[in-house]
Amino acid sequence: MNFSRWFAALFTGYLTFTVQAEDLRIGMVGLDTSHVTAFTRILNDKSAKDHIQGGKVVAAVKDSSPDIESSYSRVEKYTAELTGKWGVKLYPTVTEMCRHVDAVMVENVDGRPHLKHATDVIKAGKPLFIDKPLAGTLEDCLKIYRLAKRHNVPVFSSSSLRFAKATLAARAGKHGKVLRCETFSPAHLESHHPDLFWYGIHGVESLFTVMGPGCVSVQRGTTEDGKIIVTGKWKDGRIGIFREGKGYGGTAKCESGEHPVGGYDGYAPLVKEVIRFFQTGKSPVDARETLEIYAFMQAADESKAANGKEVLLKLDWD
C-alpha cells in the first residue's frame, strides 16, 4: 500500500471512529431517579455548559419499585421528561431495548433489580454502567461482576463523587502519600438495603478513591450526636474513616499536610467517564476496588450487629 492509500485508510478509520463515538446510542433502565434526567440533559443538550460529547440517550425501560416511595412516586415525572422533552423511546423489556442501543446505563434508585437488569444487558453483550448502589446485596454485586467476567462484557459502577478534582488529586499523589483519610456524606437509610448502600455510598466511594483498595477490617460506631461512624484499617496500617454528616467533604492527611477531599463537582465528570468507558470498554475503576467498597459497607452492618466489634472485611474475588 503506498503512502496516499495508507493515509486515506487511516483518515477514513478516524472519521468512522468519530462518527461512532458521536452517534453512540445509549439506553437507560429505571427511570425513578433524578439522575436519568440530569444525565440525559448533559448528553443530549449540546447547548448545555456541562455538555459531554460522545453519546445520546435514545431508549429506555421505565421500571420502578412499588415498595419504595421515592421510586414509585417519581417515575412518571422523570419518564415524561425523557419521552416528552428528549424524545427517548420506551421499550417493554431490557432485552428488547438492547437491540436498539450500543450501551446501557442501569439507573434504578433501588439496587435490588440491578442484578436482573445487568443479567439481560450482559447476555446482550452491551457495555454496562450501573449507578449506585451497584446492587441490593454484596452477593448480588459479586454475581454481576462474575457474570460480566464470564461473558467478557465490560461493567463499571461508581458514585459521581469519585471524580471530584480534589479527590482524584489526592489519589494521584499530588500531595504525597496518603497517610490517613476521613470523608463524610449524608447516610439516609432505606430498609431494603444495607445501611450505607443507599446514600452513605457517596462518602465511602470518596474514601476509597483517596485510600485505594486494601481495607482488611471494619468497625462501626455512633457519634455523640447519634451519627454513623465507620473506621477501616488498611493492610499497610493506614486508617480510613467514613462519617455520616451534612453535605459532602473530608480531609486527607498526606505527606505534605492535610488537604480537602470528598467534594461534589456535579454529574458531568462522571458522565464523561461513562462515555469514555463505553467507547473503550475499559472501566476507570478496577473491579476489586468497586467490590471492596460494598464489602466495606456490608462489614459495617456486621459490626453494628456485633455491637461495634471490629470485623474482618470478607471479599471472595480474584
Domains of the chain: 3-160 (3.40.50.720), 161-265+283-312 (3.30.360.10)
Whether 93 and 61 have beta carbons less than 8 Å apart is answered as yes
Mean pLDDT of 52-81: 96
Residue 175 pLDDT greater than 50, yes or no: yes
Residue 201 pLDDT greater than 60, yes or no: yes
The kind and range of the H/E element at 312 are strand 311-312
pLDDT-derived band at 15 (thresholds 50, 70, 90) equals very low
pLDDT-derived band at 318 (thresholds 50, 70, 90) equals confident
pTM of the model: 0.92
3-class DSSP state of 98: helix
Residue 21 pLDDT greater than 70, yes or no: no
**Considering the chain, what is the average pLDDT of its residues?**
93
- Asked whether the bond before 133 is cis by omega within 30 degrees of 0, the reply is yes
Cell of 36: 436519568
pLDDT tens for 225-243 read: 999 999 999 999 999 999 9
The predicted pLDDT at position 45 comes to 96
Q: C-alpha 273: how far from its chain's center? A: 10
For the ranges 5-14, 82-91, 218-227, 299-308, which has the lowest average pLDDT?
5-14
pLDDT tens for 268-299 read: 999 999 999 999 999 999 999 999 999 999 99
Starting from the edge strand earliest in sequence, which strands make up the sheet with 155-157, in order?
Answer: 89-90, 55-61, 24-29, 103-106, 128-130, 155-157
Mean pLDDT of 301-314: 97
Starting from the edge strand earliest in sequence, which strands make up the sheet with 178-185, in order?
Answer: 257-260, 249-254, 178-185, 239-244, 228-234, 215-222, 311-312
Mean pLDDT of 112-138: 98
Pairing state between β 55-61 and 24-29: parallel
Rounded-to-integer distance, Cα 296 and Cα 215, Å: 8
Higher pLDDT, 4 or 31: 31
The predicted pLDDT at position 23 comes to 75
Burial class of residue 167, CB neighbours in 10 A (0-12, 13-18, 19+): buried
Q: What are phi and psi of 189, to 5 degrees?
A: -100, 155
Residue 8 pLDDT greater than 50, yes or no: no
The string of DSSP letters for 8-77 reads HHHHHHHHHHHHHHHTEEEEEE---SHHHHHHHHHHH-TTSTT---SEEEEEEE----TT-HHHHTTHHH
Mean pLDDT of 297-313: 97
Mean pLDDT of 214-228: 96
Residue 183 pLDDT greater than 50, yes or no: yes
| C-beta atoms surrounding 198 within 10 Å | 24
What CA dihedral angle connects 289, 43, 25 and 147, to 10 degrees? Answer: 10
The predicted pLDDT at position 22 comes to 60
Residue 158 pLDDT greater than 80, yes or no: yes
Extended strands (E) in 71-214: 89-90, 103-106, 128-130, 155-157, 178-185
Residue 246 pLDDT greater than 50, yes or no: yes
Residue 3 pLDDT greater than 80, yes or no: no
Burial class of residue 217, CB neighbours in 10 A (0-12, 13-18, 19+): middle
For the ranges 8-17, 21-30, 149-158, which has the lowest average pLDDT?
8-17
Residue 171 pLDDT greater than 80, yes or no: yes
Residue 17 pLDDT greater than 90, yes or no: no
